[in-house]
A and B are shown apart, each in its own frame.
Chain A
Amino acid sequence: MRLCGFLAGFCVVAVPTALAQGSGVAIVANERSNTLTVLSPDHTVIGQVDSCARPRGMHFSANRDEFFVACADDDQIAVYETATRTLLRRIRNVPAPETFDLHPDGRRLIVSNEEDATASVYDVQTGELLAEYETGEEPEGVQATADGRLVFVASEAANLVHVIDLEKDEVIADILVDTRPRRFALSPDGKELWVSAELAGMVNIIDVGTLQLSADIRFLPTGFRPEQVTPVDLMITADGSRAYVALGRANHVAVVDVQRREVLRYILVGKRAWGLELSADEKVLYVANGLSDDVTVIDTGTLEAVTTIPVGRVPYDVLIDDR
């Protein structure tokens, strides 16, 4: 934490004793109320921050002192201080950013520009536009590989996953996937890329080595029709054993055995579950429910919902400051 004297013109940098633990608060982007909601570790609302127009995807900086918010309706990325949630600076002229990923170098932010059918790369320090790549219409999910060589971008409208080679500075493959690809999760060994196909009601698995589709996982909670199952966000645990998939209008989160490609459990959450975030210890899963304006907290041990917290209008994404 950094404290700056107003008049004296000096700063004291205080190093928290519990270094790299974070405050444990969760930050929720509410895309329709243009706010961020701050949740305490015991799941109560402790603050609300006026943000920008239509805040959507969020991401921490490399050292987690800052976090980035994609402001889709005013064409910028807002940079906040994590500890205080105060606005530090803005990266401007980013056309309709939806979501993004931070390159492992901690400097390059790869952004999907929903209305321009491009993926653009910005320097998070200077705000400079470094590169731009053509994608299909409505690019959404962005995923950089751990080695930093490849970036995957999903195009919702073209049903394509674009593979960008940053060193070659070009799109090296366009992989056809199922209807309306949205988000990604990479297996910890980097060998499998999971992509949610929202309108197909499934997850496609891409072999990162060959860039070919290798498997699908379909979802169907009891009592739902296939067309109601619209998976969006997904996460794979650090040990690569389990995945969580938010099933959108089916109002459930699917728990998947990664090796066996089998659904272990469907957990009832709020309406139109999209955004997911796991705590650092992976004991808690936060689910942003876009149409019930709340966040469901799941205990990953019992696989049951612990509580549901009202937040702002149309929550989209969750960040947890606990590392």
Chain B
Amino acid sequence: MTVRLVILAAILVWLASAASADTARVVYIGVEGDPHYEPRPVYTGLSLKDRKRPLEGARLAFAGTRILERATGVRFELQELLLDDASRVPEAVRSALQADALAVLLDLPEEPMRAVLEQGGKGLLFNIRHIADRWRGPDCTAAMLHTQPSRSMLADALAQHLRYRGWTKILLLAGDSQEDRDESEAVRRSAEKFGLQLVAERKFALTNDPRRRDFSNMALLTGPPEHDVIWLVDADGEFGRYVPHATYYARPVVGSEGLQATAWHWTWERHGAPQLNQRFRRLAGREMEPGDWAAWAAARAVIEAVSQTRSVEPSAIADAVRADDFALDLYKGVRGSFRKWDGQLRQPILLATHNAVIGLAPLDGFEHRFHTLDSLGVDEPESRCTK
């Protein structure tokens, strides 16, 4: 049940009412009217990149607990809270944790997210939305874990694939939004990390102005110098969708179009993924998106910790989830655990086109001194998270 409550007092009563000695409770908190989930129609009203609230991902994890209840005697419960007023989010998080919720899944815009982090305190918080590295870096907090891969992990996965294929000369074609600039920075870091060469870096613009054709003419944008692959950075997507098959050289496009790095894909066919996708399809009537997977993984982490420890004590669960030997089945073939230094879920990354998974990173041959999965993203020595 999703509760939309306007009066904070009512929220607090509702959150506290569910507290019980043998209940394992996880609270999802989102904001009503969140622009992130507003439709994003493009020209002529087409819907290409609309996002779905990942509630069904969390619900799917809880839908599978009935038999676990029989086995453990613990009742599992997901409380879903959509707040009208984003400024009330920190208080709602505090109330949930005070009422012994084992974890709070945060599906929040940046501002309330920042407010929650500034509030500090103990407890288990999951970022199930943001891929930005700063939440795992300078803006990190000890209470926060992340089940979405970071931008660095996604860029590293794609860079590994290019390295593996020997496509080492890259043309970086990027937009100029803040998100595109962050993404371009991640591409540069990954290229350096895996020995790829950025032979040219070009900005594009959505314009037909002949005086600005350097930024819009596809032949000029994708022409010499010679390159093996075009790495496209376009979070908006309106320019990028016209790039593949329209380039000066016959070169593949990766990044925002073509081959993309992603936490999850609806066609992933190994490691039990067809069953997870099928269960999600039955529950939600649509395909499982990376956001759904991140919400599912966060909820599953808590459920798994309860089942391993047979406890519903919040600090015991928080410790179990963060333990080095924590083993979460990610349906990506390798057990998942959380990095000590920044709370990031270690996970393989899928490299997928619109209808097939082409590779799974870390690819063969990319090693790490402790954990192969840590060849993706920000490693301990480089981490800027100090909390």
Contacts and interface: CB of A to CB of B under 8 A. Distances in A.
A114 B275 contact: yes
Interface in A115-154: 115, 117, 134-138
Contacts of B70: 171, 174
A177 B304 CA distance: 11
Interface string A146-172: 000000000111111010000000010
Contacts of A225: 371-372
Contact of B67 (A136, A156, A175): A136
A242 interface: no
Sort chain B's interface into a size bin. Answer: 20 to 34
Given A117-B67, A199-B327, A176 B307 contact: yes
B279 A179 contact: no
A160 B71 contact: yes
Contacts of A179: 327-329, 335
A200 B328 CA distance: 10
A174 B275 CA distance: 22
A157 B279 CA distance: 12
B334 interface: yes
A56 interface: no
A228 B278 CA distance: 26
B67 A155 contact: yes
A199 B64 contact: no
Nearest to A114: B275
Interface in B301-328: 304, 307-308, 327-328
A183 interface: no
B272 interface: yes
A115 B67 contact: no
B195 interface: no
Interface residues of A, number: 29
Given A138-B275, A200-B327, A230 B333 contact: yes
B283 to A, nearest CB: 12
Nearest to B63: A137
B175 to A, nearest CB: 37
Nearest to A32: B269
B275 A199 contact: no
A317 interface: no
A137 B335 contact: no
Contacts of B279: 115, 137
Nearest to A227: B334
B200 interface: no
A199 B335 CA distance: 6
A158 B334 CA distance: 16
Contact of A136 (B68, B308, B333): B68
B68 A158 contact: yes
A33 B272 CA distance: 18
A249 interface: yes
Nearest to A162: B67
Nearest to B71: A174
Interface in B20-67: 64, 66-67
A115 B281 CA distance: 12
A157 B272 contact: yes
A32 to B, nearest CB: 9
Contacts of A171: 70
B335 A227 contact: yes
A59 interface: no
Contacts of A252: none
Contacts of B334: 199, 227-228
A157 B63 CA distance: 12
A280 to B, nearest CB: 33
A176 B71 contact: yes
Nearest to A175: B71
Nearest to A179: B327
A101 interface: no
B67 A158 contact: yes
A200 B326 CA distance: 10
Name the residue among A134, A200, A227 with the largest chain B CB count within 10 angstroms.
A227
B47 to A, nearest CB: 30
A223 to B, nearest CB: 11
Contacts of A117: 64, 67
Interface in B168-204: none
Given A174-B71, A179-B327, A138 B372 contact: no
Interface string B227-262: 000000000000000000000000000000000000
Contact of A178 (B64, B278, B327, B371): B327
Contact of A115 (B64, B68, B275, B308): B275
A180 interface: yes
Given A160-B67, A160-B71, A228-B334, 18 more contacts: A117-B67, A135-B67, A137-B67, A138-B272, A155-B67, A156-B272, A158-B67, A158-B71, A176-B71, A176-B72, A199-B329, A199-B335, A225-B371, A227-B335, A227-B371, A227-B372, A227-B373, A230-B333
- Nearest 10 A-B pairs (CB), nearest first? A174-B71, A136-B67, A137-B64, A179-B327, A199-B335, A227-B334, A138-B275, A180-B329, A199-B329, A179-B329
24 contacts: A115-B279, A117-B64, A117-B67, A136-B71, A137-B275, A156-B329, A157-B272, A158-B68, A158-B307, A160-B67, A160-B71, A179-B329, A179-B335, A180-B272, A180-B329, A199-B327, A199-B334, A200-B327, A225-B371, A225-B372, A227-B372, A228-B334, A230-B333, A249-B333
